[in-house]
Amino acid sequence: MESHFERVLAAPAAVKRPAVSSIAPSAAKQPRVSHTATSAQISAVVDGAEAQEGDALDARSLKSRAKSLLKQVQRNALDREKHVDDPLKFLESELALDHELKRWQQVAAKPELFGVMIELQVPRVLLGLFAHDNVDIQLSVLSLLADLTEVDDAVESQEPARKLAQHLVDEELLPLLVNNLFQLAAVVEKDGEKAEEETSGMYRSLQILENLVDLEPQVCVEVATKTAVLPFLLQQVAPTKGFSENKLYASEILSILLQSRAEPREEFVARSRKERRKEEAEPVTNSSKNSQAHLMDDLLQALAPFRKKNPASDEEEEMVGNLVNALCSTLLVSEAQTQFRHLEGLELLLRCMKDRRQFVFGGALRGLDHALMGNVRNCERLIEIGGLRSVFSVFMGRLGKYKLRSNSKSNRVNERALQEENVASLIASMCAWVRKDAPADGYDRLHAKFVENDMEKIDRLVDLFAKYQDRVERSSHVDEMEVGEEDEESRYLRRLDAGLFVLERIAFVVAHLCHFSKKLRAYVMIKFHERSIDSASLTAILRGQLKLLAADEAVTSDNDETRKESVKDVVNDEAKDAHKAQLQQLLEALEAEELPVDDENELTKETEAKNNENS
């Protein structure tokens, strides 16, 4: 606070904020103002400390504090209006107001008083100070709100905190917060390291946003759809900005919002759609291109530098992970998948996978998996641009080699398991969605991959099938020993942890290949026999997937709200119906052993096709 008045009273040339610069007297007329300010501040602090000693923090004292706060706000506003040409005249009231705000931070430790604070309309008074000319007052308000919304996990604290959070949202805190973020960011952009207070204010603002989201998840929808927070966050993670604590925090908030619900993802896509229409309607010059940024493009640009370099610290690794999470969440929307393809996102992620020693390798693989889910054109496009080589290289066990800074054995095992899961899901998507008449002979090129090099890909499939089947079966045996202690959902989650999802994806690919070619089916059955795998287990897994889809459909149809949300993402009714039809067809073919009659030279043709594989 004192530093604010030192800047205001120093000289017009040194003024930082225009709102006060026009009324600043010349430097020559100023005595040692800093000493005056310090004296007034010390006096205010001493007076406040003495008052606090006798203050019992309860409903009665809170009412007294509320009156005092309102009195200080009104007094300062009046002093500023009366002495607009002489900052010294409103210096004392401004310091008193700042001190009063700091006194309210004690209330953060008493969540039981939040209800009284709401009744006294204190939040409305605080939000009114967002428009104060002195940025230090704004920062004090941000600091206070951050403390008030950050409570412990105790039930007795959570309930009043949730009520306060909802009240703040009802009082239009979110647009005020985001607008203030833009203003603070503009100052930081202009003044750089000198803008320490504004940088701190940005951090506090992001902290408030995170606290509100923790208390009221619906805030994710409110802030994403009713403010410009998504463009702001993407501006903060831009590659042109150096790494900072605020950049990391912005990536975290972006990830939280996009992972929360369908509406923020839809808003992300809708904003990108609007910007794209602007670009198509207006000539794009170098100056307008940046102002009409495509949100998906911004996100890809933020990730792009890490295709060639690794993060420099644990914090930067966390930021890249947040960006990957944000991308994968966005790709749950089918229109986002289309935008991603048009912006050459597939090509970018393939470049990120060129060097297995890069940190982003695993994230790029996960992004590809999400980009292909339920999307015919993305599956076919990946083959067109030569992505099969990279994908099947990972499938054959050539996984990422980046050494995490927390390079424990469990972390390495988890990372390998995640990459196996992603590549199995990715290949299952291509088997499910690539059409027979796909461009660039995509259908033939995909299946030729499985027969090249003496069927090594099918050998790998069977190995993975055996590996994950054993894990899931052992998990089921544990379940049988604990009958009655866990419900059906808990048992299902245990099987998922053991690798059921990967097993289902592998089973789908095996069944698809068996249906595709009688010769491939014969080869698979031989390998099953060598590994002592019961062929009936394949149909059992497919049947289990069908049962799960049917159960999920029943639950969704009973809940209209859930249904409305689910149709916005890739896993919607249309995709589910198509997947169910595929599973049913494969299951019937396997059980009836009615496979298509293949041309005698089919394998020869497939082998020849592999020679044309440019991926």
pLDDT for the residue numbered 154: 75
pLDDT value at 485 more than 80: no
**What is the signed CA dihedral for 461, 466, 470, 472, rounded to 10 degrees?**
30
pLDDT for the residue numbered 578: 86
Find all residues with CB under 8 Å of 63, minimum gap 6, and list them.
Answer: 116, 120
pLDDT value at 185 more than 70: yes
pLDDT for the residue numbered 294: 85
Spell out the domain ranges in the chain: 1-191, 217-277+292-343, 439-611
Query: Tokens 């020993």 label which residue?
Result: 481
pLDDT value at 605 more than 60: no
- Under a CB-based contact definition with an 8 Å cutoff, are residues 534 and 525 in contact? no
Structure tokens at 613: 């594989």
Query: Is 100 or 400 the better-scoring residue by pLDDT?
Result: 100
Structure tokens at 76: 């300062």
Average pLDDT over residues 527-533: 94
pLDDT value at 303 more than 80: yes
What b/e string do you get for 491-530 counting C-beta neighbours within 10 Å, with b at 16 or more? beebbeebbbbbbbbbbbbbbbbbbbbebbbebbeebbee
- Give the pLDDT band of residue 567 (cuts 50, 70, 90): very low
Query: Is 556 or 229 the better-scoring residue by pLDDT?
Result: 229
pLDDT digit string, tens, across residues 1-34: 555 545 444 434 333 333 333 333 333 333 333 3
Q: For residues 292 and 286, what is the distance between their CA atoms, to the nearest angstrom?
A: 10
- Phi, then psi, of 483 in degrees rounded to 5: -60, 135
Q: Read out DSSP for 339-379?
A: HHHHTTHHHHHHHHTS-TTSTTHHHHHHHHHHHHTT-HHHH
- Under a CB-based contact definition with an 8 Å cutoff, are residues 472 and 500 in contact? yes
pLDDT for the residue numbered 88: 82
- Give the pLDDT band of residue 565 (cuts 50, 70, 90): very low
> Strands, DSSP E only, in 12-54?
none
- Under a CB-based contact definition with an 8 Å cutoff, are residues 168 and 145 in contact? yes
- Amino acid identity of residue 24, one-letter, is A
The region that residue 613 occupies, defined by phi over 0 for left and psi between -120 and 50 for alpha, beta otherwise, is beta
Q: For residues 187 and 203, what is the distance between their CA atoms, to the nearest angstrom?
A: 14
Average pLDDT over residues 67-95: 87
- Give the pLDDT band of residue 36 (cuts 50, 70, 90): very low
Angle at 454 between CA 453 and CA 457, to 5 degrees: 70
pLDDT for the residue numbered 133: 87
Q: Report the range of poorest mean pLDDT among 116-130, 176-190, 571-585.
A: 571-585
Cα 124 to Cα 59, 99, 170, 196, distances in angstroms:
18, 18, 10, 27
pLDDT value at 293 more than 50: no
Structure tokens at 56: 């019992």
Q: For residues 157 and 145, what is the distance between their CA atoms, to the nearest angstrom?
A: 16
pLDDT for the residue numbered 406: 64
Angle at 537 between CA 532 and CA 540, to 5 degrees: 175
pLDDT for the residue numbered 331: 97
In this structure, the number of other CB atoms found within 10 A of the CB of residue 268 comes to: 27
Q: For residues 429 and 452, what is the distance between their CA atoms, to the nearest angstrom?
A: 20
pLDDT for the residue numbered 273: 72
Q: Which of 134-138, 295-299, 545-549 has the highest mean pLDDT?
A: 295-299
pLDDT for the residue numbered 295: 95
Cα 349 to Cα 63, 237, 296, 354, 374, distances in angstroms:
58, 18, 14, 9, 18
**Half-sphere exposure at residue 251, Cβ-oriented, CA atoms within 13 angstroms:** 26
pLDDT value at 599 more than 50: no
pLDDT value at 190 more than 80: yes
- Give the pLDDT band of residue 482 (cuts 50, 70, 90): low
pLDDT for the residue numbered 557: 58
Q: For residues 377 and 300, what is the distance between their CA atoms, to the nearest angstrom?
A: 19
pLDDT for the residue numbered 33: 32
> Which fold is adopted by the domain 439-611?
Leucine-rich Repeat Variant (1.25.10)
Mean pLDDT of the chain: 83
pLDDT for the residue numbered 268: 96
Query: Is 258 or 49 the better-scoring residue by pLDDT?
Result: 258
- Phi, then psi, of 69 in degrees rounded to 5: -60, -50
Q: For residues 524 and 545, what is the distance between their CA atoms, to the nearest angstrom?
A: 21
Average pLDDT over residues 346-366: 95
pLDDT for the residue numbered 577: 82
Query: Tokens 């004296």 label which residue?
Result: 39
Query: Is 273 or 498 the better-scoring residue by pLDDT?
Result: 498
Query: Is 313 or 571 the better-scoring residue by pLDDT?
Result: 313
Nearest to 430 by CA among 495, 480, 491, 384: 384
pLDDT for the residue numbered 283: 47
- Amino acid identity of residue 351, one-letter, is R
Q: Please tell me what DSSP assigns to residue 313.
A: S
**Half-sphere exposure at residue 112, Cβ-oriented, CA atoms within 13 angstroms:** 5
Cα 19 to Cα 5, 129, 201, 613, distances in angstroms:
13, 15, 18, 66
Q: Please tell me what DSSP assigns to residue 26.
A: P
Query: Tokens 């808990």 label which residue?
Result: 490
Q: For residues 399 and 44, what is the distance between their CA atoms, to the nearest angstrom?
A: 63
Q: For residues 580 and 290, what is the distance between their CA atoms, to the nearest angstrom?
A: 44
pLDDT for the residue numbered 415: 87
Dihedral sign for Cα 501, 503, 504, 510, please.
Answer: positive
pLDDT digit string, tens, across residues 496-527: 999 999 999 999 999 999 999 999 999 999 99
Q: For residues 62 and 364, what is the distance between their CA atoms, to the nearest angstrom?
A: 53
- Under a CB-based contact definition with an 8 Å cutoff, are residues 97 and 73 in contact? yes
pLDDT for the residue numbered 593: 67
Average pLDDT over residues 452-462: 95
pLDDT for the residue numbered 389: 96
